[in-house]
Structures are given as C-alpha cells and as structure tokens.
Amino acid sequence: MGRGDLSDAEWERLRPFLPVSNRRCGRWRDHRQVIDGILHRVRTGVQWRDLPERFGPWKTAYERHRLWSADGTWERLLQQVQAAADSAGEIDWDVSVDSTIVRAHQHAAGAHRSAAGSRVKGGRAGRTPGRDAVAEPRRPPGGGGAGGEGLGRSRGGLTTKLHLSADGRCRPLSLIVTPGHRADCTQFKPVLEKIRVPRLGPGRPRKKPDSVAADKAYSNGPCREYLRRRSIRHTIPEKTDSQAARLRKGSRGGRPPDFDEERYKKRNTVARAINRLKQHRAVATRYDKRRYVYLGTATAAALTIWLRT
C-alpha cells in the first residue's frame, strides 16, 4: 500500500456503496486501484497522464473521476460516511460557514462553451445516434464560458471560490463552487440547504444544524431572516455601518441581534476545515476545466478527511 492509499478499514467503509456495473457491459475495473489513483492525483496535483503505473491506465482513473463527479457518486459516498458518523454521535452540529479563494491554473481555462449534456458518442448532437453509438451520462450544466465554469477574473488572474459548511470537528458538510468574485452572502442559503446527512435506519435525512456561526460577510437581513425562518440559532457579528444606521434610527432601529462571543470563538473550525482541504494540491490550485469536475475533486478530498478523522 502506497502513501495516501486507502487502508483496509477505509476500503471496507466505502465498498458497500460503490456502483457494481458501468451501465454498458461487464463490470468496472478494480475500484480500489482506481480510487487510489484518483486520491493520489487529488493529493499531489499531478497531471493525469503522469499517474504512476501501479494505479492502472491514467485514462481509466480520469474517466471514472469525471463520471462520478457528474452523476453525484462522490457526494453519495460522502453522505454515507457522514451518516455512519452521525449514527455514532460523532458529528458536532454547531456548524460554521465560510469560503476560500482558489487560484485557477491556466490549464483550468478553455472548456468548450457548448453544453456537453446532449452530446452522444457515435452521432452528432441533436440527431438520433447510430446502432453502435453509446450514450454518455448526462452532465451538469456548464459550458457558458468562464462564468459558467466557476471561473472569475481578478487582477491576479482566474480564480474560483469554494463555499463550505463545516461541523464542530473541522470536517466539511457541504461544498459549492462559484466564480471567485461571487459574494459570500449569496451562497449562504445554498450551502446550508445542501447539508444532507441520511439516516442509517428509518427517518428523513438531517438537514438542520443546531447552530450556525459566520463572519461579517454574512451579516445582512436575508441571511438572518432565513435562519430565523428555520429556527436556527446563529452567531453573526453586526457590521459597523449597520450598527451605526440602527443607532441613528433610535427606537425605530430595533434591538441589536444576539451575539454569543463564546460561540463565535468556535468559528475557527471552518477555517481549519479549509486548511485540511487545501492540503490536497488539486484543491488548493484548480486544474480542472469543468466546474462539476473540480467540485468532485473537492468532494473526494472531503471524503478522505471524513475517513481519516
């Protein structure tokens, strides 16, 4: 077993949830060998063509990663590992939310502008494929240029922003990829609504944290109203200009929002979760052209964090 490969215990936790058939003919190539190759690339950031030979053909690892990023297999594996941790009472539901800027490598640019979801091998888009044609799995929407692929322009070049929520033990619960210039507060609701931890037995998945902590970037009316509507306790500091505007209104400005200083001290958990994610070089620097593939890369990194903590 090489450095960074799945241990026997980690493999046994994933094996029951892996797909058995590739929906075409035959069975998948050895899952464990291919997953080890994918995790090696996520950890080191090496080009796919430079994967060591012990992981098998590089194209097999790349296609498996691309397919599982498109059909949500990586997210389902992450949810199953989270469900096992939740059933054992190992999730701290005092959640923190934040985002981080990721520099996009020049190889991350240049994705095709046309949507690839309707393309079919062996036939042209929009026409009935031939008998021997093999339909590709439907891909998430994209192909709308840099913005459609989660790339934003800044003075330093192309950037991507990774929004995430983390539990009290510094492990990512949900991930969203946007262009680097997108404001944090616009993704507050989507990040929280993406939290979904299934139950191992009967019952609905858990989607509601016990409390939420966030910095001043999320201090606005819509974010606070969303948390109040869901009856979620929250600790978000008030912006200086918002506080001054409230004081100018006097009694009409209302009471200041509640702020728990002790609870806010735990917000560093999301920053530590970001540090753990960025220990994976393919997450710290984006090399993937397609947004859904980079999200799959970040989700695979989050999966290893959950397996090893």
Q: What is the pLDDT of residue 123?
A: 42
What integer is the mean pLDDT of 59-86? 96
Q: What is the pLDDT of residue 19?
A: 85
CB-count burial class (<10 Å; 0-12, 13-18, 19+) for 167: buried
> ∠ CA 57-62-64 to the nearest 5 degrees?
100
Q: What is the pLDDT of residue 3?
A: 84
| Residue position matching structure tokens 């997108």 | 182
Distance CA 52, CA 240 (A): 54
What integer is the mean pLDDT of 86-112? 93
pLDDT in tens, 286-309: 999 999 999 999 999 999 999 998
Q: What is the pLDDT of residue 30?
A: 86
Q: What is the pLDDT of residue 204?
A: 94
More confident residue, 111 or 167: 167
Distance CA 138, CA 81 (A): 25
Percent of the chain with pLDDT over 90: 69
76 pLDDT higher than 90: yes
What integer is the mean pLDDT of 208-216? 95
19-24 long-range Cβ contacts below 8 angstroms, 24+ apart:
19/73, 23/137, 24/134
User: What confidence tier does 139 reach under pLDDT thresholds 50, 70, 90?
Assistant: low
User: What confidence tier does 133 reach under pLDDT thresholds 50, 70, 90?
Assistant: very low
Q: What is the pLDDT of residue 143?
A: 54
User: What confidence tier does 138 reach under pLDDT thresholds 50, 70, 90?
Assistant: low
- CA 140 vs. chain centroid, Å, equals 14
CB-count burial class (<10 Å; 0-12, 13-18, 19+) for 169: middle
Q: What is the pLDDT of residue 24?
A: 61
pLDDT in tens, 31-44: 999 999 999 999 99
136 pLDDT higher than 50: no
- Three-state DSSP state, 192: helix
More confident residue, 122 or 223: 223
What integer is the mean pLDDT of 234-249? 82
More confident residue, 94 or 142: 94
Q: Which of 104-108, 120-124, 187-191 has the lowest mean pLDDT?
A: 120-124
Q: What is the pLDDT of residue 249?
A: 78
50 pLDDT higher than 70: yes
Q: Which is it for strands 285-286 and 94-104: parallel, antiparallel or unpaired? A: parallel
Q: What is the pLDDT of residue 21?
A: 66
Q: What is the pLDDT of residue 185?
A: 94
Question: Could you tell me the two tokens for 160?
Answer: 């991507």
User: What confidence tier does 128 reach under pLDDT thresholds 50, 70, 90?
Assistant: very low
Is 23 within 8 Å of 29 (Cβ atoms)? Answer: no
